[in-house]
Amino acid sequence: MDNFDLICAKIWNILYICHGKIKNIGVLMADFGFFRVAAASPVVRPAHVAYNLEQILSLTDEACAAGVSLLVFPELSVPGYTCGDLFGQSLLLDAAQKAVVNLKKATEDKPITLIVGVPVPHDGRLYNCAAVISRGALCGLVPKINLPSYGEFYETRRFASGSDFLLNPAEIHYAGDYVTLSPLQLFTIGRATVAIEICEDLWTPLPPSSHHAIAGAQIIVNLSASNEVLAKNDYRKSLVANQSARTLSAYVYASCGFGESTGDLVFAGSSMIYENGTLLKENDRFSVSSGLIVSDIDIDKLEALRREKTTFADPAPSVYEPSSYLRHNLGDAAPTDFGAVLHRTIDPTPFVPHGNPEKLNSRAKEVISIQVAGLATRLHHIGCKTAVIGISGGLDSTLALLVTVMAFDKLGLDRKGIVGVTMPGFGTTDRTYTNALGLMQALGITIKEIPIADAVNIHFRDIGQDPSNHDVTYENCQARERTQILMDLSNKLGGIVVGTGDLSELALGWATYNGDHMSMYGVNAGVPKTLVKYIVDWASKNYFSGDGKASAILTDIIDTPISPELVPGAADGQILQKTEDLVGPYELHDFFLYNFFRFGYEPQKIYFLSKIAFEGKYSDEVILKWLKTFLRRFFAQQFKRSCLPDGPKVGSVALSPRGDWRMPSDASSALWLSALEEL
């Protein structure tokens, strides 16, 4: 974070203080559903409470300057985790309690909630607790439930389990406040609801956080003391990632680091922040100085995912019933200007893994495998050995052809049973025509060439269309003529028509109704445009790598501009009708679709995220223009999606009216478009 960012954040905090804790000051700026959290890795000195308190206060000031609303420290961070039998000393316990009093005072005028680790004595027992401190008050004590007593860990020697308070929470006096001692507590800060588990709680077969999430917590924090051994960090990260994904929550994990005793164990200060299984931020372990990691949690996204997953709210065991939880409202979140600094990465290509060729190859292989399995199953089920497919020389029809070839190979069927039909028309260019013929020859399928110009001209004459008028009728007549040829030919040959339209085209309605919109099985229906070329590239380099001619043609197809080729090209044969010039960049539309569909984001938020994701590539005006186009077309073209042919779902975004997206064809886009007018 640079100095300018720090100054901006400090100004907002000063405004908060000057307004005397005005509860709705957060409305002065748009939060877009984000909530800023941080995990701290303080340097500690075991049993030196005063030193540890200084580190906590310093990191708190740093977090406040960054606009953080929730700051999480490691397990037993106030005295240090490795105090051993010193936890039996009243002097240490009293010092820890006094430190909490000091933390309360230090946060009186700060819009931040701290969660620190302290040992808490009660009724002759000692509990390993998380203390929740907010705006000058101790708001709750959450005890650790599962205490390890294996290897170098022997917590049961000094601590008792917080399970004592699952059924009967205790009200105790600690650090000057009467406060609840119980694992079943939820803390609300603004729109975020937070719950706590401590270290070993996560490593058990039934982590408390599973129940916390069902009770309403969108953010789980874990105060931990996890040591380092070979390969443990990978396992620890997978554990946090999986729990975050299972609970559809954000998970803030802070573990002990430099300064803890290394008698038998080494602590590296592992800190990480996950959201629904995705890593948002992690620190560099083994640092010798105190530090923070800061990230912004998307509460809107988590709530949308939970609403979508109806199994999320299945009944929990009786002791963890949501009604058993004590709920605390800690006030508003910090008045953070998320528009100035956003502590999370916004992926401009959510359908395409970037920066990781291995992951991209794996994604492409998995998608095409699903497509192949879907088509192979359909062919086998109906006993069909013939597939008819229109080949244009473009990316979508190429992918559909490759899928069909692989499905035939999988079933042991003769590739000659695939009938590829090239249907040159008024806008067909030499490049796409040559690539279509060459690819079909290289793959060894049956080739048919059926020009459509004569038939379309007769149709123009019959309906009174002027051939020189290149309007929508001019274009759609060609698309429907091609579909009629494919359908009738499949009847003649006893086959099925394999569709070529992709997910992005379905979202925009960029298809001719009952033209290329229709088929007998749409293998590309779940594949977004931004992913198509990567799948074709993978197939070229892997499945079809042995055929040099096919690979060369596929490479050229990948480099060909996207076009429906329904109007004549240039005199030199170049493509004039480029789809993205007409409807907008597909990378923008795929970004809009992903965030609109997956998380139900309002248009303002999609626009906000788009500006971050495509900064330097598209201006704000261009993004806004195409976002309006996306919304208008998505609503207006639903009637095409309402009668889609079958096709395989390959990802989390799918528009089948039979399962994933059910929307009335007459739904109005006015509410969404009017929201953009306010920008």
In angstroms, what CA-CA distances link 371 with 6, 79, 498, 554?
Answer: 49, 57, 12, 19
Tokens describing residue 559:
């480099």
Tokens describing residue 331:
């006030």
pLDDT digits (tens, 9 = 90+) for 591-617: 999 999 999 999 999 999 999 999 999
- The answer on pLDDT for 53 being more than 80 is yes
Phi-psi region of 345 (alpha: psi -120 to 50; beta: other; left: phi over 0): beta
**Can you tell me which residue has the tokens 């499945």?**
543
pTM above 0.75, yes or no: yes
Report residue 648 CA to chain centroid gap.
21
Q: What is the DSSP letter of 334?
A: P
pLDDT of residue 580: 76
How far is the C-alpha of 562 from the C-alpha of 554, rounded, in Å? 14
For residue 425, what is the enclosing H or E element? none
Where residue 23 falls among pLDDT bands split at 50, 70, 90? Answer: very low
CB 120 within 8 A of CB 143: yes
Strand-pair partners of 115: 72, 132
Report residue 661 CA to chain centroid gap.
18
- The answer on pLDDT for 166 being more than 50 is yes
CB 484 within 8 A of CB 492: no
How far is the C-alpha of 231 from the C-alpha of 227, rounded, in Å? 11
How far is the C-alpha of 87 from the C-alpha of 594, rounded, in Å? 52
**Residue 620 CB coordination number (10 Å):** 13
How far is the C-alpha of 401 from the C-alpha of 391, rounded, in Å? 8
Helices (H) and strands (E) in the chain, counts: 20, 20
- The answer on pLDDT for 115 being more than 80 is yes
Mean pLDDT of all residues in 377-386: 96
Which range is least confidently modeled, 189-193, 222-226, 315-319? 315-319
pLDDT of residue 27: 33
| Side-by-side strand order, sheet with 34-41 | 170-174, 177-181, 137-143, 125-134, 113-122, 70-72, 34-41, 291-298
pLDDT of residue 197: 98
- The answer on pLDDT for 305 being more than 70 is yes
Say whether 621 sits in a helix, a strand or coil: helix
How far is the C-alpha of 596 from the C-alpha of 507, rounded, in Å? 11
Pick the closest to residue 409 from 372, 367, 381 (CA basis). 372
| Side-by-side strand order, sheet with 326-329 | 278-282, 271-275, 250-255, 219-224, 192-198, 185-189, 326-329
Where residue 9 falls among pLDDT bands split at 50, 70, 90? Answer: very low
For residue 14, what is the enclosing H or E element? helix 3-18
For residue 421, what is the enclosing H or E element? strand 418-422
How far is the C-alpha of 618 from the C-alpha of 277, rounded, in Å? 30
pLDDT of residue 262: 81
CB 610 within 8 A of CB 584: no
How far is the C-alpha of 219 from the C-alpha of 209, rounded, in Å? 9
pLDDT digits (tens, 9 = 90+) for 485-533: 999 999 999 999 999 999 999 999 999 999 999 999 999 999 999 999 9
- The answer on pLDDT for 554 being more than 60 is yes
In angstroms, what CA-CA distances link 537 with 133, 227, 355, 402?
Answer: 54, 44, 16, 11
Mean pLDDT of all residues in 36-50: 97
Pick the closest to residue 78 from 64, 106, 57, 63 (CA basis). 57
pLDDT of residue 24: 35
Q: Which residues are marked as active site?
A: 75, 144, 199
Runs of H (alpha helix) within 343-452: 357-382, 395-411, 430-443
How far is the C-alpha of 596 from the C-alpha of 593, rounded, in Å? 5
pLDDT digits (tens, 9 = 90+) for 409-466: 999 999 999 999 999 999 888 898 999 999 999 999 999 999 999 999 999 999 999 9
The residues, ordered by sequence, that sit 6+ positions from 619 with a Cβ below 8 Å of its Cβ are: none
The residues, ordered by sequence, that sit 6+ positions from 510 with a Cβ below 8 Å of its Cβ are: 504, 579, 583, 633
How far is the C-alpha of 120 from the C-alpha of 164, rounded, in Å? 14
The residues, ordered by sequence, that sit 6+ positions from 4 with a Cβ below 8 Å of its Cβ are: none
Phi-psi region of 189 (alpha: psi -120 to 50; beta: other; left: phi over 0): beta
Q: What is the mean pLDDT of the chain?
A: 91
Residues, the chain, total?
Answer: 679
Say whether 186 sits in a helix, a strand or coil: strand
Mean pLDDT of all residues in 48-70: 97
pLDDT of residue 1: 43
Where residue 280 falls among pLDDT bands split at 50, 70, 90? Answer: very high
How far is the C-alpha of 579 from the C-alpha of 561, rounded, in Å? 8
The residues, ordered by sequence, that sit 6+ positions from 364 with a Cβ below 8 Å of its Cβ are: 531, 534, 535, 537, 538, 539
DSSP strand E in 456-603: where?
A: 496-499, 521-522
Q: Which pairing describes strands 70-72 and 34-41: parallel, antiparallel, or unpaired?
A: parallel
- What domains lie within the chain, and their CATH numbers? 3-30+44-329 (3.60.110.10), 357-677 (3.40.50.620)
